[in-house]
Structure 1
Amino acid sequence: MKSAGTHDPTVVCSHLNHYFGDRESRRQALFDVNLVCHPGEVVVFTGPSGSGKTTLLSLIGGTRPVQEGTLHVCGQELQLCTYRQLAEFRRRVGYIFRAPYLVESLTAGQNLSLVAELSGLSAKEAEQRSHQWLERLGLEHRSGYKLGSLSVGQRNRVAIARAFINNPRLIIADEPTAALDQESGRSVV
């Protein structure tokens, strides 16, 4: 997999079009999207519900196939990737979904350590990194708590920590602060 240089754009979308449905029910969700994002930039997509924000994020994150146009992310031309290459690409991206998608039977700390260990860290390193991220988001005192004992906002902060725990080159965040209070939302951003 090709690696992008430090000054290369992180994301380049050229003439992206995306459709849902077949034949008579086919509807276009993205219309000729052209976008360039550089390292260190924070890019926010705004628009009404159904305007294609989540569709565009899922294309950039490699979780939906490119139908028309070209998409380069972190030096990888996604529309040319094999299934295996896309899986490898997705391991280097941090995702924050609308719902936290955490493992209910694990504690907050275990949810983070699991992701870090799956990326190749030792159990000790994973636990240290988990603690660092929980502390950073004000949840160090909740590390040993099962998810059922956490508020919705606390669960979302654990999910946000999960996205960052492996130091990804790119974070894809779909309404990351929707369930957080104003102060927590600001501190996360």
Structure 2
Amino acid sequence: MKHRFLALSILALSLSMTSCLDETPKDQIPETDIYDSANSLYVNTVASLYNYIGAHDEGEGLQGTCRGIYDYNTLTTDEAIIPIRGGNWYDGGLWKNMYNHTWTATDTDLYNVWKYLYKVIVLSTKSLETIKQHKSLLTEQQYMEYLAEGRAVRALFYYYAMDMFGRIPILESSTQKIADIQQS
């Protein structure tokens, strides 16, 4: 009898607690309200891209993050060097491999740089498409300026990708199939 009562109590309690799962977050904007004016369109498409120029994760950010674009463009030349003294700063040979140009396609840090660059390229492309979708919110001048600024950010990241990796794939649309993407 006790087991049945306990089981029924648990069942009743779990059914009554489902209302606790319904949430109405106060810090999130519904997707329909994100692009309701020229200002919100700019903030959520173009301005948000600038967040990726500097980043907080290793391998991300155009300047100053460890094991990222700056390191691969600077420490691989005679412009800078990381002195390795004893076991400190050796980092499994990372800095030595950079300086000697002996990295491989399986190096995680180099792969993270590739992912970072293409993440921003894809986001830039998606932002350009969103601006085109919501053109009716903008004056002709705003429309041209927003597109130009989004293209400039994307071009900056394409530049770094081409500089670091050579013949890179050029993404022209977020709906583009992988088989249709051409290398530059």
Specify the TM-score bucket, using the shorter chain as the normaliser.
under 0.3
The answer to which structure has the higher helix fraction is 2
TM-score (norm 1): 0.22
Larger radius of gyration: 2
